[in-house]
Amino acid sequence: MYLDIRTELINDDCLNYLKKLENNSIDLILTSPPYADQRKSTYGGVKTDEYVKWFLPISKELLRVLKPTGTFILNIKEKVIEGERSTYVMELILEMRKQGWFWTEEFIWHKKNCHPGKWSNRFRDSWERLLQFNKSKKFNMYQDAVKVPVGDWAKSRLKTLSNNDKVRTSSAVGSGFGKNVSNWIGRDTVYPTNVLHLATESSNKNHSAAFPESIPEWFIKLFTQEADTVLDPFLGSGTTSVVAKRLNRHSIGIELLPEYFTIAKHRIDKSETNKPVIDNTLPLFNIELSDING
């Protein structure tokens, strides 16, 4: 059985096009907008102090089109200006809450191979924020889709059931991990944390993807099911749409610049559709954990 997956690519200003979308129609919004003062030549360079003012009308539309059970993941990082971290992200969070967004969580994307460089007053920046916003406190989350391999501790720990594990049940001291220790036998995956640890993609330079495919893949698996709809209002070279299509999710990708739009369209055209999900238990980003433990 094949699903009929729609992958819409729109070459337009996102604020303009978002207004055409219906209320409560999107399951996941996932985007990496142009950072303040970046991409000056392309986006006209949104100034730092104007960034919040620029973004709020967009986030207002996003709030409208998102389903009450949906999630908005915003990838963003402050720029350093005259030796100081800019504060527009903090201000944006505070203002978006006033719009009605719930700021549920802040994931950290730890970039394994961050940009090289050396400065006298700071080290290389190897992490970015992945802010999770929600429309209501009851949102869909499919945690089992992103479980990761358990650490090696389990092998030795569970080899023998200590009697204390049983004692802890009745002692009521602490939290009682021992109570269900038998549940752990044979368990080989655990739930991840809120730190994502993966490398940036550096292989292909013909398109500058904001993030590697692992990031949208993880969030799409975590917050949507097949045939749900994913939206990326700043599509760039199209990574979100490519991954959504591969995972059998409908998607809408909006990109203003023709150069990027062309790249995205080309990538989508040659990408596979309706590909059965082979493996949804082993996200790439926790490889390192086992590396260290192993």
Partner DNA sequence: GTTCCGCATGAATCGATAG
Partner DNA sequence: ACTATCGATTCATGCGGAA
Out of 2, 204, 270, 279, the only residue in the binding site for DNA (CB under 7 A) is 204
Work out whether 6 is an interface residue with DNA (CB under 7 A). no
Tokens of 200: 């940036």
Whether the Cβ atoms of residue 253 and residue 234 lie closer than 8 Å to each other: no
Work out whether 41 is an interface residue with DNA (CB under 7 A). no
Task: Give the gyration radius of the chain's Cα atoms.
Answer: 21
User: In the bound complex, what is the minimum distance in angstroms from residue 263's beta carbon to a copy of itself?
Assistant: 21
Contact region for DNA (CB under 7 A) — 49-57, 152-160, 245-253, 267-275?
Answer: 152-160
- CB nearer a copy of itself, residue 64 or residue 85: 85
Helix axes 48-65, 88-99, angle to 10 degrees: 30
- CB nearer DNA, residue 33 or residue 253: 33
The angle formed by the CA atoms of residues 291, 293 and 294, to the nearest 5 degrees, is 65
Q: How many residues does the chain have?
A: 294
Give the single-character DSSP code of 203: S
Instruction: List interacting residues with a copy of itself (CB under 8 A).
Output: 82-85, 87, 90-91, 93-94, 97, 102-106, 108, 110, 112-114, 116, 118, 120-127, 137, 139, 141, 143, 159, 162, 175, 177, 191-195, 287-288, 291-293
| Residues whose CB falls within 8 Å of the CB of residue 137, separated by 6 or more in sequence, listed in order | 102, 104
Tokens of 54: 């620029």
Whether the Cβ atoms of residue 245 and residue 271 lie closer than 8 Å to each other: yes
User: In the bound complex, what is the minimum distance in angstroms from residue 61's beta carbon to a copy of itself?
Assistant: 22
Distance CA 75, CA 61 (A): 18
- CB nearer DNA, residue 56 or residue 154: 154
Which candidate, 120, 289, 271, places its Cα nearest to that of 192?
A: 289
User: In the bound complex, what is the minimum distance in angstroms from residue 138's beta carbon to a copy of itself?
Assistant: 8
- CB nearer DNA, residue 1 or residue 174: 174
169 binds, among a copy of itself, DNA, none (CB under 5 to 8 A by kind): DNA
Backbone angles phi, psi at 4, to 5 degrees: -95, 95
Whether the Cβ atoms of residue 255 and residue 31 lie closer than 8 Å to each other: no
118 Cα distance to chain centroid: 28
Whether the Cβ atoms of residue 103 and residue 97 lie closer than 8 Å to each other: yes
User: In the bound complex, what is the minimum distance in angstroms from residue 133's beta carbon to a copy of itself?
Assistant: 10
Which of the residues 220 through 249 are near DNA (CB under 7 A)? 234
141 binds, among a copy of itself, DNA, none (CB under 5 to 8 A by kind): a copy of itself
Work out whether 87 is an interface residue with DNA (CB under 7 A). no
Interacting residues toward DNA by CB under 7 A: 32-35, 38-39, 75-77, 79-83, 112-113, 115-122, 124-125, 128, 150-151, 153-154, 156-157, 159-160, 162-169, 172-180, 183-184, 187, 190-191, 199-205, 208, 210, 234, 289, 292-293
